[in-house]
Amino acid sequence: MLFGRRKKDRPISFQDNDRGLVLYRYGSDPEDLPLTAGSLILVAPGQYIFIMKGNELTDVWDQGAYRLGPEMFPRLADIGAFRDTPYGPMDADLYFVTTDPVTERKWATRTPALVQEAGRVYRVRAYGTYDLRIHDVIGFILDVFIDRGLKNTFEVTNFLATRAAGAFTATVSEMSVPVTEIINHPGEISGLVKEKANRSLVGTGIELINVLIEGTSLPD
């Protein structure tokens, strides 16, 4: 019984442990504590939390300590997230967001870029990695989480991988350089791809801080 009380009284927090999670819904792990009225939530440096009740965003908080209750979360109380039973389960979902860089996510072209040279069309494929950072948490929540419906890290990083691959395809298709230049100068191309990808991410609250082309190929 003593162990049970200690587990219940532990504060709610989230440690990534190098899994590269950008967005995490608390309670996804069986080891997560129950989210109840009276829970103490600890938000670490570089983290934000936000709380959803159904499809409604109720609260966004940055680094600090927060006690779940009507005093600190009046909006949740107004919409009935606190149930009548003291310390009962919360009728809401808690999400953690990291603003620290997340590195070495993978991308690859699904369809080749078409590059014309000397009357011939080459089909160029590529793959690599990208690093990302959430620089505007509110923009991220409203655009990516609510409007686009991307609810976890896997969906977010797949979305960004598609943007990086699309930026590569558009960049090399628009360039008037020989195919060998594209293949032999990946560093220069990478910078152009990052710029184009970030232009497509305006309003999402996310930026790619690095894009790396690790390999290109000319499939038959």
The verdict on 129 and 211 lying in the same domain is yes
Nearest Cα residue to 58 out of 82, 34, 39: 82
Residue 6 has pLDDT above 90, yes or no: no
Residue 153 has what pLDDT? 96
C-alpha radius of gyration, the chain, whole number = 22
Query: 207: burial class by Cβ within 10 Å (0-12, 13-18, 19+)?
Result: middle
106-129 pLDDT, tens digit per residue, is 999 998 888 887 778 889 899 999
The verdict on 60 and 136 lying in the same domain is no
Nearest Cα residue to 195 out of 177, 206, 211, 183: 211
Residue 176 has pLDDT above 80, yes or no: no
Between CA 122 and CA 215 the distance in angstroms is 16
Residue 1 has pLDDT above 50, yes or no: no
pTM over cut 0.85: yes
Domain that holds residue 77: 2-98
- Of 57, 80, 98, the residue at which a domain comes to its end is 98
177-186 pLDDT, tens digit per residue, is 788 888 888 8
Total domains, the chain: 2
What does residue 51 show for φ and ψ, rounded to 5 degrees? -120, 130
Residue 167 has what pLDDT? 96
Q: Which residue has the tokens 């090399």?
A: 172
Residue 77 has what pLDDT? 85
Residue 2 has what pLDDT? 36
35-48 pLDDT, tens digit per residue, is 888 899 999 999 99
- Of 98, 122, 149, the residue at which a domain comes to its end is 98
The verdict on 93 and 107 lying in the same domain is no
Residue 4 has what pLDDT? 43
The verdict on 72 and 142 lying in the same domain is no
Q: Which helix (H) or strand (E) holds 130?
A: strand 120-134
H-only helix segments in the chain: 2-9, 74-78, 137-139, 153-174, 179-184, 186-200
Q: What is the mean pLDDT of residues 170-192?
A: 87
Determine what percent of the chain is predicted with pLDDT higher than 70.
92
Work out the pLDDT band at 99, boundaries 50, 70, 90. Answer: very high
Between CA 184 and CA 4 the distance in angstroms is 61
Any idea what the CATH number is for the domain that residue 185 is in? 3.30.479.30
Provide the 10 A C-beta neighbour count for residue 217. Answer: 12
The verdict on 64 and 111 lying in the same domain is no
The verdict on 108 and 94 lying in the same domain is no
Residue 90 has what pLDDT? 82
Average pLDDT across the chain, whole number:
89
Residue 155 has pLDDT above 90, yes or no: yes
The partner residues of 48 in beta bridges, in order of sequence, read 97
What does residue 56 show for φ and ψ, rounded to 5 degrees? -105, 125
The verdict on 203 and 113 lying in the same domain is yes
The verdict on 70 and 157 lying in the same domain is no
- Of 98, 133, 159, the residue at which a domain comes to its end is 98
Q: Which helix (H) or strand (E) holds 15?
A: none
The verdict on 86 and 111 lying in the same domain is no
